[in-house]
Structure 1
Amino acid sequence: MAKSMLLISRQSPWGGPGAREALDIALAGGAYELPIGILFLDDGVFQLVPKQQPAAIEQKDLGANLQALPLFGVEDLYVCRQSLRLRSLDGQPLSLPVTLLEGPELANLLDRYDLVITL
């Protein structure tokens, strides 16, 4: 049986390669039916802000990769509520349906996966 993997995405969409790499790993693992979840934490929550305009800073849009996650079977998407709150995003619409977690729920999430990778 395949091991489950949780990707913790902590980087903003344009703060370096981490955000794109996390999505690439998730999509590749999903294609092989690996049980994968993603936790958007810290500046990683900015990846979920809809209607971004990456062309203005000459970057590629991560939106298509995010929208492809459910198509590849990656449906366990989590967000740290405190990360949203600290970035004034709490209560704002997000580009994907996510489960909001905080406090002990985050620790419980980590315990549910065999592998945890932070990017």
Structure 2
Amino acid sequence: MARSLLIISRHAPWAGPAAREALDIALAGGAFDLPISMLFLDDGVFQLAPDQRPQTLEQKDLQANLQALPLFGVDALYVSQRSLGERGLDASGLTLPVQALDADALRDLLETHDQVITI
């Protein structure tokens, strides 16, 4: 039986390669039918914000990769309610359907996965 994997993405899409690397791991694992979930935490919640203009920072747009997650079987997507609030974002206005979790639910999420990767 495949072990479940939680990928925690903590970096903004324009803060270097970490956000893209987290998505690449999720997409690669999904292609091999691994049970993968993603949690967007801290500045990682900015990956889900609408109306981004990565060209102005000479960055590549991550939106296509994000939209591909469900196509690769990565449809368990979570976001920290606290991280959203600290950054002035609301779960209803994000580019993907995600489940917003409070601190207790985050703790439970971590305990339900066999392995956790933080990027």
Q: Same fold (TM over 0.5)?
A: yes
TM-score grouping bracket, smaller chain normalisation? over 0.9
Q: Any gaps of 5 or more consecutive residues in structure 2?
A: none
Equivalent position of 1:106 in the other structure: 106
Deviation of 1:36 after TM superposition, in Å, equals: 0.3
What is the CA–CA distance in structure 1 between the aligned matches of 2:93 and 2:77, rounded to whole Å? Answer: 15
Change (3 A) 1:110 1:46: same
1:19-42, CA deviations, whole angstroms, 9 ceiling, x for partnerless residues? 000000000000000000000000
Q: Percent identity?
A: 64
Equivalent position of 1:89 in the other structure: 89
Report if the CA contact (8 A) 2:27-2:72 is conserved. yes
Q: Any gaps of 5 or more consecutive residues in structure 1?
A: none
- Aligned-partner residue type, residue 97 of structure 2: P
1:52-97, CA deviations, whole angstroms, 9 ceiling, x for partnerless residues? 1111111100000000000000000000000000001135500000
Deviation of 1:112 after TM superposition, in Å, equals: 0.7
Count of paired positions: 119
Equivalent position of 2:116 in the other structure: 116
Q: Helix, strand or coil for the counterpart of 2:43?
A: helix
Equivalent position of 2:62 in the other structure: 62
TM-score, normalising length: structure 1: 0.97
- Aligned-partner residue type, residue 110 of structure 1: L
What is the CA–CA distance in structure 1 between the aligned matches of 2:89 and 2:51, rounded to whole Å? Answer: 14
Q: Which runs of 4+ in 1 moved over 4 A?
A: none
Equivalent position of 2:72 in the other structure: 72
What is the CA–CA distance in structure 2 between the aligned matches of 1:61 and 1:42, rounded to whole Å? Answer: 19
Equivalent position of 1:18 in the other structure: 18
What is the CA–CA distance in structure 2 between the aligned matches of 1:28 and 1:35, rounded to whole Å? Answer: 11
CA RMSD of aligned residues (A): 0.9
What is the CA–CA distance in structure 1 between the aligned matches of 2:99 and 2:18, rounded to whole Å? Answer: 21
1:1-31, CA deviations, whole angstroms, 9 ceiling, x for partnerless residues? 1111000000000111110000000000000
